[in-house]
Structure 1
Amino acid sequence: MDNTNNGSVENCQVHIDQNRALYIFYSSVVVVEFILGLLLNITVIHLFVFKLKFWKSKTIDIFLFNLVLADILLLIGLPVKAYNFQQCSEQKVVCKVQLFLQFLNRGASIAFLTVISIYRYFSVVHPGKRKVLRILKKSPQISVFIWLLLGILTIPAMLQSFIRCNSSEKDEELTPIVLLRETVFFTQIFIPFFVLVYCSILIIRRLEQKSVGDKTKLRKAMFLVTAVVLVFAICFLPYAITRAVQLKTNGPVMTEEKLTVVKLYDGLVCLSYLNCLLDPILYCLSSGKFKKLYISMYLPFLLEKQQPESSEDTADD
């Protein structure tokens, strides 16, 4: 097993050395995403806990808090990912911890993203279905259930004796545990995407049918719904599709085609982390109340510039 691992690390290092400039770029992108994402998400969490007291707030705030928390926990593992893009690691324990954080927290981020969309769908399209809304308003219980379920689904995939820290390492055998991991991976991306698209289309239709209300607010709401779907599609769909192609090219021989897929996959992994940076902007800063509070706390120098605009906006409202 040690010889196998050493050989895999050597192969990985050769692959990285042959594409040094590309993987330094990948590593730099991950570091930038880590710094910006962590700063933004920590400041948002600070407002949720100390200013908004999310546990006393609306149902949506509890889901948003869990979404941001999942993104923070995912970001914590990015320095290890940046290191692996430049230097293959032989520390399998560190590798498994990083992969566990990646699988669990990316899954949690997508799950809470989906639940938020479902909640908004019923609130806008079917406000009369009180039983469903009553269930969705049990946000603490739903949040605990999501974390426990994803933890159960993630742990078995981390228990196998050999797991790749880098996509260029030796291919894994398609054991039941590996198949379980890949099934969970594709399920938690493609099913939520279709749910998001379905909810978004019906929400937009419902908003367009509203003849009463502020047209500007309606346009902003429709833009937000559309933006969420686009961000999800850009961050996760190419990454998942390339992962499927990589599994299809699974084999003992590292062909030129396979190396190209590996490089593309690693680049799209970097793109997928962008979701951690965009989630707080799309969901938290899209709220007028939260945005004003955030600016007053962390960007007070923008208040003077926004005062003339805000007075115009008030007049328009």
Structure 2
Amino acid sequence: MANGSMYQLIEDCEATHKALYKFYAAVMIVTVILALPLNASVLHLFLFKMKFWKSNTNHVFLFNLVLADILLLFSLPIKAYNYIQGERRHGNDAVCKAMLFMLFLNRGASIAFLTVTSIDRYFNVVHPGRKNLLKALKKSPHISIFIWLLLLPLTIPTMLKNFDCCNSHKNDDEGGLVSKQDDTLIKDVVDSLREAVFFTQILIPFVILVYCTAHIVNRLRKKTVGDRTKLRRAVFVVTSVMVVFSICFLPCAIARAVLLVARVEEWRESSQDKATVAFDGLMVLSYLDCLLDPLIYCFCSTKFKALYLSNYFPFLLKEGPLPMDSSTSNTPNPKRGNVI
């Protein structure tokens, strides 16, 4: 490869390692094939079996989580096609912006509803008798609508070509000195705002999750009498959310930080290229949360797990009464059983 051509490929949003990007595309395709029917089946239960809007639990949050996952999955085939073609973004600006909007809106929604689910479990376990706004609103769609509306303006800064191509804070030596200084200042402000939004959506929820997890685990250790099953389940919930964050979201945030340092410090072209490829790969890894999120549903409610198995995998059940959710009491189900 000629001197300077690798850097130009990065700037032009072209893949420098086409075979590796085809592997990334294959991972996304497999994710869609596995996660789409899984999330569709969960959505079917929420809508037609559980009647989540009448639920007394946090099923409203979980419904929004699965909705965000499904919308994200619809965007991945286009992203995979671009990678197969050796492009890191779609050539059409309108399609590219729409893709970025969908990807980051629904990714942000997944993070938000995972976090709210953990906060809800924290209040139920650590402060069971305390009144709080979340407990009052979780039975209604208001808090879910607020989260979606809040994410809209936070997603707009990502709808730019230079975010998708990892070109934030790049140097550009062309043009007049005065006009260039003004343009650079504006661009730096926009880039900084965009990057702040990206990291805030990951780091602040992670800090909240660590706090909730630590207090719930501490509550479990202090409780010596009474029903510890609820506490153990709460630990499973927040721990599983932490696992999803640690696998899917934290690595891409770290890779993004390394990439920004590489650009600002003007590392060698080969180093910038490696940082770019690593970030793209870890972004692909973050899409796996669509496969891991259903574990959250099972940890949140054994009744949901039993209902899911009774509808889709009845051969895994033994004879006996099936634990019914209050929201499904009016839904007749001839199949009963205990989870094996």
Q: Shift in Å at residue 110 of structure 1?
A: 0.6
Q: Which amino acid aligns with 1:197?
A: V
1:290 is matched with which residue?
A: 304
Instruction: Say whether the 8 Å CA contact 2:15–2:83 is kept in structure 1.
Output: no
Instruction: Identify if the C-alpha distance between structure 1 residues 199 and 14 changes in structure 2 by more than 3 Å, giving closer, same or farther.
Output: closer
Task: Report the secondary structure of 2:129's partner residue.
Answer: coil
1:83 is matched with which residue?
A: 81
Bigger CA radius of gyration:
2
Instruction: Say whether the 8 Å CA contact 2:297–2:304 is kept in structure 1.
Output: no
Distance in 2 between the 1:297 and 1:165 partners? Answer: 41
Unmatched 5+ stretches in structure 2:
1-7, 172-183, 323-336
Instruction: Identify if the C-alpha distance between structure 1 residues 90 and 131 changes in structure 2 by more than 3 Å, giving closer, same or farther.
Output: closer
Distance in 2 between the 1:21 and 1:66 partners? Answer: 36
2:155 is matched with which residue?
A: 154
1:49 is matched with which residue?
A: 47
1:3 is matched with which residue?
A: none
Q: Which amino acid aligns with 1:281?
A: L
Aligned match of 1:281 in 295, 302, 313? 295
1:124 is matched with which residue?
A: 125
2:115 is matched with which residue?
A: 114
Aligned match of 2:314 in 276, 288, 300? 300
Distance in 2 between the 1:254 and 1:81 partners? Answer: 28
Distance in 1 between the 2:113 and 2:169 partners? Answer: 34
- Please list the CA deviations of residues 74-116 of structure 1 after superposition, one character each: whole Å capped at 9, or x if unmatched: 1111111111222223112111111101111111111111111
Q: Which amino acid aligns with 1:94?
A: V
Q: Which amino acid aligns with 1:41?
A: N
Note if 1:229 corresponds to 2:227.
Answer: no
1:22 is matched with which residue?
A: 20
Instruction: Identify if the C-alpha distance between structure 1 residues 143 and 293 changes in structure 2 by more than 3 Å, giving closer, same or farther.
Output: same
2:143 is matched with which residue?
A: 142
Task: Report the secondary structure of 2:263's partner residue.
Answer: coil
Instruction: Identify if the C-alpha distance between structure 1 residues 25 and 307 changes in structure 2 by more than 3 Å, giving closer, same or farther.
Output: farther
Distance in 2 between the 1:302 and 1:221 partners? Answer: 25
Instruction: Say whether the 8 Å CA contact 1:114–1:192 is kept in structure 2.
Output: yes
Note if 1:195 corresponds to 2:208.
Answer: yes
TM-score with structure 1 setting the length: 0.84
Q: Shift in Å at residue 284 of structure 1?
A: 4.0
TM-score with structure 2 setting the length: 0.78
Unmatched 5+ stretches in structure 1:
1-6
Distance in 1 between the 2:319 and 2:165 partners? Answer: 50
2:3 is matched with which residue?
A: none
2:219 is matched with which residue?
A: 206
Task: Report the secondary structure of 2:127's partner residue.
Answer: coil
Task: Report the secondary structure of 1:90's partner residue.
Answer: coil
Q: Shift in Å at residue 41 of structure 1?
A: 0.9
2:274 is matched with which residue?
A: 260
Instruction: Say whether the 8 Å CA contact 2:43–2:67 is kept in structure 1.
Output: yes
Instruction: Identify if the C-alpha distance between structure 1 residues 22 and 278 changes in structure 2 by more than 3 Å, giving closer, same or farther.
Output: same
Instruction: Say whether the 8 Å CA contact 1:157–1:178 is kept in structure 2.
Output: no
Instruction: Say whether the 8 Å CA contact 1:59–1:139 is kept in structure 2.
Output: no
Instruction: Identify if the C-alpha distance between structure 1 residues 157 and 218 changes in structure 2 by more than 3 Å, giving closer, same or farther.
Output: closer
Matches of residues 178-189 of structure 1 in structure 2 within 5 Å? Answer: 178-189=191-202
Distance in 2 between the 1:285 and 1:207 partners? Answer: 16
RMSD: 2.8
Instruction: Identify if the C-alpha distance between structure 1 residues 166 and 299 changes in structure 2 by more than 3 Å, giving closer, same or farther.
Output: farther
1:58 is matched with which residue?
A: 56
Q: Which amino acid aligns with 1:155?
A: I
- Please list the CA deviations of residues 22-64 of structure 1 after superposition, one character each: whole Å capped at 9, or x if unmatched: 1121111111111211111111011001000111112401011
- Please list the CA deviations of residues 275-301 of structure 1 after superposition, one character each: whole Å capped at 9, or x if unmatched: 111112222465221112111222233
Instruction: Identify if the C-alpha distance between structure 1 residues 180 and 10 changes in structure 2 by more than 3 Å, giving closer, same or farther.
Output: closer
2:98 is matched with which residue?
A: 97
Instruction: Say whether the 8 Å CA contact 1:12–1:169 is kept in structure 2.
Output: no
Task: Count how many residue pairs are aligned between Structure 1 and Structure 2.
Answer: 298
Q: Which amino acid aligns with 1:55?
A: W
2:175 is matched with which residue?
A: none
